[in-house]
Amino acid sequence: MNPFSSSQWGLKKYRGAVGSVFYIFFLICIFYSFTSCDQKAPLPPADPDNGGLALPEGFEAVVVVDSLAGRARQMAVSEAGNIYIKLRFEREGGGNVVLSDTTGDGKADVIQEFGQYKYEGSYGTAMRIYNGYLYFSTELAVYRSRLIPGQALPDTLIETIVIDDHAHGRHEHIAKPLSFDNKGFMYVPYGAPSNACQEPKRTPGQAGQDPCPQLEQHAGVWVYAADKPNQTQKDGRQWASGIRSVVAMDWNPVDENLYIIIHGRDDLLRLFPSIYDPWQSAVLPAEELIKVTEGSHFGWPYCYYDQVQDKKVLAPEYGGDGNTVGRCSDYDLPLMGFPGHWAPNDLVFYHGDQYPERYKNGAFAAFHGSTNRAPYPQAGYFVCFIPFENGVPTGKWEVFADGFAGTDPIVNVSDATYRPMGIAEGPDGSLYLSETEKGKVWRVMYKGDKGNFGSSQLTSMEEHKQLSHIRTPDITADNLQKGNEEGGEYTYYRYCSACHQMNGRGASGRFPPLQGTDWVTGNKDKLIEILLHGMEGPIIVNGEPYNNLMPQHSFLSDKQAAEVLTFIRSNFGNEAEPVSEQEVQVVRQKLAE
């Protein structure tokens, strides 16, 4: 055969031309130091006002989506840039949503809901990507779906990985955040079903159970195989104990350890007014940043951390007086204590390269904001940064993103326009922040000079520490109820406003409102019974579901009970007839029979 036949010669010329093109392209890559061949997509333009956020100098933000019908909790971002969000409220289309930006302008132009669950309950606080799967949770189960390359929606097949099979069902600290190590294990906390192991719950002056039986199956972290379906608690093993309530949790691959910011206990004043004053109850105890290793125990319910005194003290339910350490010296200490009731709801270690070097391997934490600081302003409602090195914070926490609430002081939780919730790192090193009240999502980018970033770029954020929702309140000047020390209004603000808020509007999803509802303005005997006996379980108020605990207030005198019920029935837009001492006395006697 002639090797130079016309057909083969034409093929050789074609191959030679293609090879030349690739060769020239290769030379161009070398000439431009590969910048033209391995160029990441440019960062999108920021919104002129950074979407309302205050950020350190050089950082900018764009609003990815202004609101979501199901609102938003935790997030995860795939390598393709799709944003997966656990919705706060389940929708007909499912309990999750995926946002996609197909135009590159930073705005989500495709929004798709997905995820139907076998087990009831939408209150979940997990959305994580691990080994090609999307993991998410409700209050009673952990699920996963396989991510499909080139497609935003995950596989419709949903596997149930862990089932909360406790007989008690739901309780107040039932979130299921998730973390994964590098060995195929998944970490799941089980919150404590009480404030401090009291039975019945939250009864003023009552001692806690000792030893606390709840520690056997609650108030700790369990570890599971990440890929095994239908596990229950007995299939896992307890990793750590003495941890009251967890929503913010992340595994740090740098030192291969689990980190948590604990939700501290509540109700120091209401339960122990002879030991604590309103100021102490507003700022204590700490939300504890802890490093969780196998076998560690952080002391709940016997102890809590006082960040003002910088020590772990004995809880009053177990004989403490706010100062005594006692048996608490036997338990693990936190790395850092944040002020009480800030509600830490996400924790993410940053490993990207977009931000200045000082942020590398540090941690970002979202503080959802307090509900129970009355008579002082509510606090939290911002995202902070904690510098880390070798598993230890190297400095004080910093304000990273603020402006969510849109007002200061924040008197009632409903005054806050937005409340930060979720944090996720994108493939290019951008941070995504979500909030729960409207379902808004921001993308925070760095566009400044990384080499010259230092303390001067943080000056404006340091000034935010002087705002009332971040600084420690002045015991006198910041007391919103000073001078009002008697009557039904005083009793309400002392014992009720921590949950139902000073304006009576409650906290969406947690504490029901008191205005415009038959629960308040209807049958007086029913209302008196709820106040004296308490209430627990799911209810519907003004069309919104609630599932929490209303503590009993039998410690109030007949006069105090009548005054506070008369106050709520004639305020917050209510116009119902008063409650008398005699009516309270009759109901109290019936409850005692």
Q: How far apart are CA 443 and CA 186, in angstroms?
A: 28
- pLDDT for 65: 98
Q: What angle do CA 284, 286, 287 make, to 5 degrees?
A: 135
Q: What does DSSP assign to residue 456?
A: G
**Strand partners of residue 133:** 130, 146
Encoded tokens for 438:
């409207």
Helix-helix angle 558-569:581-592, to 10 degrees? 120
- pLDDT for 485: 64
The answer to whether residues 266 and 354 touch, using CB atoms and an 8 Å cutoff, is no
- pLDDT for 444: 98
Q: How far apart are CA 558 and CA 580, in angstroms?
A: 8
Q: Are strands 544-550 and 311-314 parallel, antiparallel or unpaired?
A: unpaired
- pLDDT for 9: 41
Which mean pLDDT values do the consecutive 10-residue runs of the chain (593 residues) have?
42 45 42 44 95 98 96 97 93 92 97 84 84 94 96 96 79 89 97 88 85 96 98 97 98 96 93 93 97 98 97 97 97 97 98 96 97 93 94 91 97 95 98 97 97 93 97 95 77 83 83 90 91 84 82 86 90 89 90 85
Q: How many CB atoms lie within 10 A of CB 580?
A: 15
Cα 530 off chain centre by: 29
- pLDDT for 543: 84
Single out the residue of 175, 376, 342 nearest to residue 264, CA to CA: 342
- pLDDT for 10: 45
SS3 assignment, position 158:
coil
- pLDDT for 467: 97
Q: How far apart are CA 245 and CA 176, in angstroms?
A: 10
- pLDDT for 23: 45
Domains of the chain: 56-448 (2.120.10.30), 488-592 (1.10.760.10)
- pLDDT for 39: 53
User: Rounded to two decimals, what is the model's pTM?
Assistant: 0.86
Q: Are strands 287-292 and 336-338 parallel, antiparallel or unpaired?
A: antiparallel
The answer to whether residues 383 and 511 touch, using CB atoms and an 8 Å cutoff, is no
The answer to whether residues 103 and 109 touch, using CB atoms and an 8 Å cutoff, is yes
The answer to whether residues 312 and 331 touch, using CB atoms and an 8 Å cutoff, is yes
Burial of 159 per CB tally in 10 Å (0-12, 13-18, 19+): middle
